[in-house]
Structure 1
């Protein structure tokens, strides 16, 4: 039986622009249509990464750059964050795959200090893989005339990919910030980008997104 909980994540190099898969979708990112999602960048989910090494070092820097540019441009910034000490009934099937999850302790629940939400940002309680599940993310996007979502954070092949797929099914165009995502391994990271490019979204690197913002 597979062990529950998060794996230890070895360092790996992030994909370069020329390594990104070609998307099926023809969509072009537009500043006035976009919002930025910073997905699950909580201490608990970042602990498995090797401190001081990629992918995390570059991912944190790239997310910070995206957030700063988004705020300056008037692009809404959204965060997701799970709550600690979840009731087993609320955690649902996630407990079967990942165990009880995080506690409410400062070592687990807070968003990484370097990426802390700023006044005017939105922080959504995360319930399932997709950021749209049991949240008002779609309503908040629609109210602001936003139908494109830039997705950054962890983990690329789990919550980030499922959020992209969910956005697509709500007619919100997803863009994966390929070098502002991190995952269990480079293979999982590439899997996420390939899947999204093939069926529901557009991978871009941080430099390409910053040009638009």
Structure 2
């Protein structure tokens, strides 16, 4: 029986390629308490992706979305009103279930893209990484925007079909359709385990 991830791959993947463990970095997007209910179903897939990346020597980088003042809201303030994630609140912290280890970077951001004003691109370049594997929440907002930005900055993008989540299947699949068509190679945990085991 197909998993949700493998089913999505067969439906939406336009091209196939495996990530290169020597070139890739894993991005774990916004796995924070604010999104706990949405993220809970993908925790096993997130942990599997993190574990196989660590075993293969692939750097794991987390992002954390938070706002400090109205000056950094940008259009998100208009769009979402008061429903924002504020620094210093329990909701802004990474979910303990994700299992971040000491020393693994946490990129602080205040908009959808993990690259916008964060230093993430320079961090990846300094690591000698030219590929990113995108996991986390929300599929169609921060994950998709980060993936598109990565592509435009010249990174090869791998986007997880089973280690990303959002508020509806329709929005999740719309992102997979769009990214698979023009921006990213779609993967799931089985693909990552197979590819990264080649180290």
Structure 2 unmatched ranges of 5 or more = none
1:113 corresponds to: 96
What stretches of structure 1 of length at least 5 have no aligned partner? 1-13, 50-54
Q: Deviations over 1:31-70 (max 9, x none)?
A: 11110000001011224x3xxxxx732x101111111221
Paired position in structure 2 for 1:186: 169
The answer for the alignment partner of 1:32 in structure 2 is 22
Deviations 1:156-199 (A, max 9, x none): 01111111110000110111111000011111110010110111
Alignment partners' CA distance in 1, 2:93 and 2:99: 9
Give yes or no for contact 2:64–2:107 (8 Å, CA) kept in 1.
Answer: yes
Q: Determine if contact 1:174/1:201 at 8 Å carries over to the other structure.
A: yes
Q: Distance in 2 between matches of 1:123 and 1:66?
A: 17
CA–CA distance in 1 between the matches of 2:114 and 2:89?
22
1:46 pairs with 2:15: no
Partner of 1:99: 81
TM-score (norm: length of structure 1): 0.83
Residue of 94, 113, 123 corresponding to 1:140: 123
- Higher normalized helix content (fraction of residues): 2
Q: Under a length normalisation based on structure 2, what TM-score does the superposition of the two structures give?
A: 0.89
**What CA deviation, in whole Å up to 9, does each residue of 1:85-137 have, x standing for no partner?**
x311111110111123123322x111111114212311000121110011111
Determine which of 8, 32, 51 is the counterpart of 1:19: 8
- Which of 145, 153, 157 pairs up with 1:162? 145
Q: Structure 1 residues 160, 115: closer, same or farther in 2, change over 3 A? A: same
- Give the SS at the match of 1:31: coil
Contact 1:25 1:200 survives alignment (8 Å): no
